[in-house]
């Protein structure tokens, strides 16, 4: 720490000089009054790197595999047309058609909306470790480094 008066790198005291507290070296501390010794700054403690532990897996929400059949069968049992269901849940008819024909998979938010309205289960919660290398790569996704490790591990 630098002395505020002479600039030496040895400021060890805090002195009041002309009404201002200044950090000063031993030689300059005589210019002021109420000299206090500065405590040496301790180095900042850094957190140690802790590798990822597999036991602390997080839950993942997944859409069930047979979502299209569940949605279509439940809608038909309730006597609803795709257009009517779409209006009830504030979505487009083309979205409902795409879901029932498996042209698109519902987002979690949409699946929750359908679950609530139709009283069905479309989302399942699994622990990440329970997925055991079930990584699926579709044209809309790209491989991550973790996916590559899983694929390499699966080939062994």
Is the pLDDT assigned to residue 146 strictly greater than 70? no
**Could you tell me the pTM of the whole model?**
0.48
Task: Give 42-60 pLDDT, tens digit per residue.
Answer: 566 666 665 555 555 678 8
Percent of residues, the chain, with pLDDT higher than 70: 69
Could you tell me the pLDDT band of residue 117, with boundaries at 50, 70 and 90? very high
Q: Is 144 part of any domain?
A: no
Q: Is 139 part of any domain?
A: no
Check whether residue 36 and residue 4 sit in a common domain: yes
Check whether residue 36 and residue 78 sit in a common domain: no
3-state DSSP percent of the chain in helix, strand and coil, to 5:
35, 15, 50
Positive or negative: CA dihedral 50, 52, 55, 60? positive
Mean pLDDT for 106-123 is 92
pLDDT recorded at residue 133 = 47
pLDDT recorded at residue 126 = 82
Q: What is the CATH number of the domain that holds 122?
A: 1.10.260.40
Task: Give 86-103 pLDDT, tens digit per residue.
Answer: 999 999 999 999 999 999
Measure Cα distances from 5 to 23, 52, 118, 123 in Å: 8, 50, 78, 69
Check whether residue 36 and residue 85 sit in a common domain: no
Show the domain range for 99: 55-127
Inter-residue contact 14 to 23 (CB < 8 Å): yes
Check whether residue 63 and residue 114 sit in a common domain: yes
């Amino acid at each position: 720490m630098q002395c505020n008066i002479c600039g030496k790198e040895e400021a060890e005291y805090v002195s009041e000089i002309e009404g201002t507290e200044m950090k000063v070296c031993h030689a300059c501390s005589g210019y002021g009054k109420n000299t206090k010794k500065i405590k040496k700054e301790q180095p900042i403690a850094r957190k140690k790197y802790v590798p990822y532990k597999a036991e602390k897996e997080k839950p993942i929400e997944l859409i069930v595999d047979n979502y299209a059949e569940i949605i279509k069968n439940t809608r038909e049992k309730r006597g609803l047309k795709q257009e009517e269901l779409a209006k009830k849940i504030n979505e487009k008819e083309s979205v409902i058609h795409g879901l029932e024909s498996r042209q698109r998979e519902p987002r979690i938010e949409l699946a929750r909306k359908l679950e609530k309205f139709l009283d069905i289960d479309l989302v399942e919660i699994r622990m990440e470790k329970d997925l055991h290398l079930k990584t699926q790569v579709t044209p809309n996704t790209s491989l991550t480094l973790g996916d590559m490790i899983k694929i390499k591990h699966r080939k062994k």
